[in-house]
Structure 1
Amino acid sequence: MLLNEADDAIDLQKSEFYINRELSLLAFNKRVLAQARDTSVPLLERLNYLCISSSNLDEFYEVRVASLIQMAEIDPKTLSQDGLTINEQLDAIATDAHQLVSEQYQILNDVLIPALATENIHFVRRNEWTTAQHAWLENYFNEELLPILTPVGLDSAHPFPRILNKSLNFIISLLGKDAFGRNRGQAILQAPRSLARVVQLPALETGSGPYDFVFLSSIIHAFVGELFNGMTIKGCYQFRVTRNSDLFVDDDAIDDLFLAVQGELAMRNYGDEVRLEVDAHCPEETIYYLLDRFNLLSDRLFLVDGPVNLARMQDVIALLPRSDLKFSEFKPAIPSQMAGKKDIFVAIKRHDILLYHPFESFAPVVEFVRQAALAPDVLAIKQTLYRTGADSPIVNALIKAARAGKEVTVVIELRARFDEKDNIGLAAKLQEAAVHVVYGVVGYKTHAKMCLVLKREGAELRNYVHLGTGNYHPKTALLYTDYGLFSCDKALGEDVRRVFAQLTSMGKVIKLNKLLQSPFTLYSGLLEKIDREIDHAQHGKPAKIIIKVNAIVDELIIQALYRASQAGVQVKLIVRGMCCLKPGIKGVSDNIEVRSIIGRFLEHTRVYAFANNGNQEVYASSADLMNRNLFQRVEICFPIESKKLHNRILHDLDLYLQDNTQAWLLHADGNYHRVQKTDAEPAIQAQNLLLQELHA
């Protein structure tokens, strides 16, 4: 195609060139669920993937569907990138989500529960209880449940209660009169969240347990009559309501972000209803009664054949000491130059150090902050915290540093979704220790991952930095793949210092030496690098782009990649989740490949690599290619300048591009297909190979 001839130009804004972002996110969840069917995955890990797919769908309805419903009320004619109205999107979501939920319960009931039974792990149904089990469960109900359960009989004095978001509830049909002579046709029972959703039975008799489990819903169903003395139970059916859980904080109308977020948290459990899950055996009349109570249409009704919250089955995995049914344990490696009690600053001063979690340990990051807190010549520590965990060793080190008289500044993002409560507690804890705590910039989430240590070395003040693609969270560092870079490069350190100054004070847009930063230079910087590859290709020079991110949604970035493909640039995209770009369209995206890797670890790295006519550039970043990351957040994108280190990242990317066991390829029709290895090909599983290489 001749890009400079207007008559031949293709309109890259056409809706047919885009995949709906919401349906793409559901497609990712389908790929996660596929792991639950994969017999090459250890059995309890397959159960875990099922639970993850359920939890993902919860959040999808709490945030994405809730947002679309709100938008439909404001402007229902708004079109998505792929040309759908909001109501058309909601209809398509309902179709895909119902199919997904149906598959979840089919896998649970027909695949996983039978497979677990062959390993003597049993989910015992009510009609299968032995006499001894029935007696034990009845006693458990009377001793452990009955005292804390509070049924509400529905009448004019007892209206339908407020139902907590995602809580387990029962609607009970009754016959007879109560102690006051009232005919109560229905009652609602809410199960406190403190109760285990799966109860482990003891080995009561020959042939039973030790791994026999009963769902809480089955126990309540069996003995609910104990709560309604003298009345007849016609039916007892579990249900669960999902609500809008996205916090709304008006940045222009608040004086104190801390108090505003704290106030909104109290309302999260009672947002607008967006989904209703009900026991599949519930009578139609009762179902329609519940739909009416929650003002929901039938497209947001899900009839389920099993527990209404599959995610709570993760509790079972923790109760089972069956290492043979889980992924084999591994100990993340520590680079030799950072092992033991070595001075971490001396190691960084020698050369930049790159860590790839979880294959390599997160411990050096904790040690970096710990040594900074203890070193007498460290004057100041500045750090961003997005998600850190309740009892973070990094936070403890920052507190020690502040108590030792060092200048400690922490930028906390209070609005990290579903971690707001923890972050409020974290902010209070740090402030009590005299840490300077700021909440970033009003209107922009601070998503950058940075730590800066200012150290006096003789007559010089030197900046040491850690920059990462993931959060400062030791637990998720065992589950998510992320890069972290240690450096004392002068220009890079000065950039990080300037970004911190921008976050804590006020001023004009700052000029940075090496970092790209959103919402200012990241977007334009990436476009410039894509355009440079286009120019190289048009002049017959080597041109290639490799991008690994969690999501590609931004329309103008997608159009730039389409233009690159049209110019002959080879574009390789490794996108874990949402991808609105369609590869393989003739004349538009022939030279683009999109793959998604779903494996043991959640792929979380963000890497941007450009061939640059042989002068390869590699950047790592906290940012995905979404509008929010590019324009509504504070993000950084940092160069990997050491040739050794950027070659290492390119090697890692090459493994992902060769993966033929955990990879899914996106096709031009918007569907993903799992890569099928031929008999002649060696099996390449990127994550396993990285584990082997980094532990060699």
Structure 2
Amino acid sequence: MDHYSFFDRDLSWLLFNERILMEAGKETLPLMERVNFLSIFSSNLDEFYRVRMPVLLALHNLAKHGNSEKEDVLLEAQELIGHQQQKFGQVFTGEIIPLLKAPKITLLFNEPIPNEIADKVSDYFYSQVMAFLQPIDLADTKKNFFPENNRLYFLVNLQAENKTERNVILNIPSNQLPRFYGVNTDDGQYIVFLDDIIRHNLDKLFKNEVLTGCYSIKITRDAELDLDDEYQGDLSEQVEKQLLKRDLGIATRFLHQPGVPLRTLHFITDKFNLQSSSVVEGGMYHNLKDLSGLPVNNPSLRYTRWAPLVGYHVSDAGSLFDHIETRDYIFHTPYQSYNTILRFFNEAATDISVKEISVTLYRVASDSRIVNALISAANNGKKVRVMVELKARFDEANNIKWAKKMKAVGVDIIYSNTALKVHAKIALVKRQVDGRDKYSGLLATGNFNESTAAFYTDHIMMTANSLLLREMELLFMFLAKGKKSADGYPIDFKHLLVAQFNLQDRFLVLIDQEIANAKQGLPAFITIKLNNLEERTLIAKLYEASQAGVKISLIVRSICCLIPGVQGMSENITIKRIVDRYLEHGRIFIFHNRGDEKVFLGSADWMNRNIYRRVEVCFPVYDNHIKAEVLQLINLQLNDNVQAVRLNNELQNINIQPIPPLVQSQKAIYEFLKSKLND
């Protein structure tokens, strides 16, 4: 493996975020969709500073002392981010804000509030905003102020009549009020930042002092939870305690607007102990992820909605589980409706023949219909066993909430060990019919979450295949043990690919089979679609396959450490990245197998965490009709020349020449599935 090259994961992720920014810059997109992509870019960057920047800062410090074997890419990452933020500003202020004026929408950006709306803005300040303002004098030693993660503040410089100066921190309460305030006039709509409403009215707060400066600031903090592997108590209690500390983590970024006096900057840096964070000069406004909340209600400025299709005309007569016994079903969200998946859980909760329900939950909706169905099932006397992953980043609190509610009605709640996340997406229902046990199962590439199913592309298979369901039952038995690893707990999975047991080894064997075919002069192809590709053993095996002549087509949404198109290493590997109205999320693995394709779907990306620190499940597609359908969908994506870009050997996003026929894969998939309604 030493002779192979790999791209840095963090630089790769930043280049994915650049692809999001490219979408915001597309003149062909509806205007508010461009704004949404700016919002996504900003949100992604905030998460990068919370999750990855602490790692880069630590590696940089180790490298300075010669103690790191890993590449120090901090400065390269900061430079890349700087260029991207400049592009962000050009798109937002140079294109989008001027274009909003055509539909008579004026977004005030770093400009005075016009006289014609000043009275309404002032009234809004007095009646709504003022209630949440809490100025803190930084010289007041009695007040121990600590700036919270990603909250917005003003640093206000004031001078009294006796020329004494003081520095005040003033909160911008965007966590309690909308970030934007819309005012309609005869000439159209004005939209005002909450920040500017406060700036405009600072004299109402500081009546006897002269305002000498007002600067917006934001501090981003490390999001990592410090969980004790040896903790013997209730895991939910440990996670809850750590969540209370999350927003008190080490500062990774100090973002401030331009023009802050150097003396003031040093004062704030010392006051809040920000010496080890990245000090970044940004714009006048921070948290521009809030742009998704712009109060613009003009449908012509957004995508034309694609109504979810009915995946299968599953008869209302009889039990859904009886239908599943006759054939496998697959649903492709969000193109197809999620209702049949909800029906699966709802019928399981109320069907008197259902005796047991087992399910893994990683991220669920805040008002989850699925969890409510599980609660009803327990109240209806069924045995319900739920593996709740409390360590799903940024969803911990929601998962704890639901775990407590389920536990209160007698659901058997299982938590994973602190060293191991359960990321598998599986559900198993056991019925008793005429004295016999019958099983039905769900296996999915994405979470059991009806909210994200509206914009994440995923695949959910319903099956009664005993070969798969028996292995699912064995896996649930393992999860109930709460083991740190699979060591000493052998399960000989023949059909499912399960991380911690056989997933990596099986993928390596499947690649080796294509290598053997290529060496025999037979056609050899591998097609893989996933979100992230980092794990070096699997990448090295793909390099080996490329060298043997195997043609490899990859669709990688985000992180990609494989370098394509390098002579003698990866010249037979191509990589595409697709960004469109839906978030690409499904994982698909296809091996040519001498023309009898082996197709797998599942929850696992090829990241170190998925392979070594999670329980993941990938599952084979045995039904020939479903297999053909999946192959058709992936073929449309491989031929996308509208929303796809090609990754070159520097992992830059290279636009594909739009030579007819034009294929926009998400639209083509929707039309393809729509055409099947009449089959």
TM-score by length of 2: 0.95
Tell me whether 1:273 sits opposite 2:251 in the alignment: yes
Q: Does 1:640 align with 2:616?
A: no
Residue of structure 2 in register with 1:4 after alignment: none
Matched, 1:351 2:327: yes
**What is the Cα deviation at residue 240 of structure 1?**
0.5
Aligned residue number for residue 540 of structure 1: 521
User: Is 2:451 the counterpart of 1:479?
Assistant: no
2:663 corresponds to: 684
Q: 1:167 to 1:302 in 2, by over 3 A?
A: same
> Aligned partner of 1:132: which letter?
E
In the alignment, is residue 195 of structure 1 matched against residue 176 of structure 2? yes
Q: How many residues are matched?
A: 669
Work out the CA distance in 2 between the residues paired with 1:457 and 1:340: 19
SS of the counterpart of 1:669?
coil
Q: CA RMSD in A?
A: 1.9
**Which residue does 2:150 correspond to in 1?**
166
Question: Match of 2:674?
Answer: 695
The alignment partner of 2:410 has SS state of: coil
Match of 2:656 in 1: 675
SS in 1 for 2:446: coil
The answer to whether the 8 A contact 1:465-1:487 is kept is yes
Counterpart among 71, 91, 97 of residue 113 in structure 1: 97
Gaps of 5+ in 1: 1-11
Letter in 2 for 1:48: N
Aligned-partner SS, 2:616: strand
Do structure 1's residue 520 and structure 2's residue 504 form an aligned pair?
no
Q: Once the two structures are superposed, what CA deviation does each residue of 1:107-165 show, in whole Å capped at 9, x if it has no partner? A: 11111111112122211257443323112212221222223211111215256720000
Distance 1:91 1:24, change over 3 A: same
Distance 1:532 1:376, change over 3 A: same
CA displacement at 1:338 relative to structure 2: 2.2
Q: Which residue identity lines up with residue 110 of structure 1 in the other structure?
A: G
Q: Distance in 1 between matches of 2:318 and 2:202?
A: 62
Matched residue SS, 1:186? strand
Residue 81 of structure 2 aligns with which residue? Answer: 97
Q: Residue type matched to 2:78 in 1?
A: A
What is the deviation of 1:93? Answer: 1.1
**What is the match of residue 199 of structure 2?**
221
Corresponding position of 1:8: none
Task: Give the deviation of 1:254 after TM superposition.
Answer: 4.4
Matched-pair identity in %? 32
Q: Report SS of the residue matched to 2:73.
A: helix
Q: Compared with structure 1, are the counterparts of its residues 341 and 301 closer, same or farther at alpha carbon in structure 2 (3 Å cutoff)?
A: farther
In structure 2, do the counterparts of structure 1 residues 203 and 667 end up closer, same or farther at CA, with 3 Å as the change threshold?
A: closer
Corresponding residue of 1:6: none
SS at match of 1:661: coil
Equivalent positions of 1:203-602 (< 5 A) are: 203-204=184-185, 206-207=186-187, 209=188, 211-296=189-274, 300-316=278-294, 319-338=295-314, 340=316, 343-505=319-481, 508-602=489-583
Contact 1:273/1:294, CA 8 A, preserved across alignment: no
TM-score of the aligned structures, taking structure 1 as reference length: 0.93
Q: Contact between 1:453 and 1:465, CA under 8 Å: does it hold in 2?
A: yes
Partner SS, residue 94 of structure 2: helix
CA gap 1:106/1:306 in 2 versus in 1, 3 angstroms? farther
C-alpha contact 2:150 2:219 (8 A) present in aligned 1: yes
In the alignment, what sits opposite 2:137?
A: 153
| SS of equivalent to 2:177 | coil
In structure 1, C-alpha distance between the alignment counterparts of 2:315 and 2:116, rounded to whole Å = 55
Return the alpha-carbon distance in structure 2 between the equivalents of residues 325 and 528 of structure 1.
Answer: 50
What amino acid is the match of 2:183? P
Q: Quick one: distance in 1 between partners of 2:175 and 2:649?
A: 47
**Aligned with residue 610 of structure 1, among 582, 591, 598:** 591
- Shift of residue 89 of structure 1? 1.2
Report the secondary structure of 1:251's partner residue.
coil
SS at match of 1:534: helix
Do structure 1's residue 13 and structure 2's residue 2 form an aligned pair?
A: yes
The 1-side partners of 2:426 and 2:312 are apart by: 23
Q: Corresponding residue for 1:61?
A: 49
CA distance in structure 1 between the aligned counterparts of 2:8 and 2:517, rounded to whole angstroms:
32
Distance 2:318 2:657 in 1: 46
Question: Residue by residue, what CA displacement relative to the aligned partner does 1:595-627 show, whole Å, maximum 9, x if unpaired?
Answer: 101111111011111011122100001000011
For residue 332 of structure 1, report the CA deviation from its aligned partner: 1.2
Shift, 1:220, TM fit: 1.1
1:462–1:490 CA contact under 8 A, matched in 2: no
The C-alpha deviation readout for 1:310-344, integer Å capped at 9, x for no partner, is: 0012111xx32211111111221123332656531
Contact map agreement 2:588 2:599 (CA 8 A) in 1: yes
Q: Distance in 2 between matches of 1:78 and 1:115?
A: 51
The 1-side partners of 2:347 and 2:155 are apart by: 57
- Alpha carbons 1:197, 1:217 under 8 Å: kept: no
Contact 2:564 2:575 in 1 (8 A): yes
Counterpart of 1:687, as a letter, is Q
The gaps in structure 2 that reach 5 residues or longer are: none
Change (3 A) 1:31 1:157: same
> Which amino acid is 2:590 matched to?
A
2:81 maps to amino acid? A
CA distance in 1, matches of 2:28, 2:224: 37
Q: 2 CA distance for matches of 1:312 and 1:202? A: 18
Q: 355-364 vs 304-313, which deviates more?
A: 304-313
Summarize deviations over 1:535-576 as a string: whole Å, max 9, x none: 111111221100000011011111100000000000111000
Q: Distance in 2 between matches of 1:160 and 1:224?
A: 23
Give, in whole Å, the separation in 2 of the partners of 1:79 and 1:593: 32
Most deviating of 453-462 and 501-510: 501-510
Q: Residues 441 and 509 from structure 1, CA distance in 2 versus in 1: closer, same or farther, beyond 3 angstroms? A: farther
**Secondary structure at the counterpart of residue 184 of structure 2:** coil
CA gap 1:126/1:272 in 2 versus in 1, 3 angstroms: closer
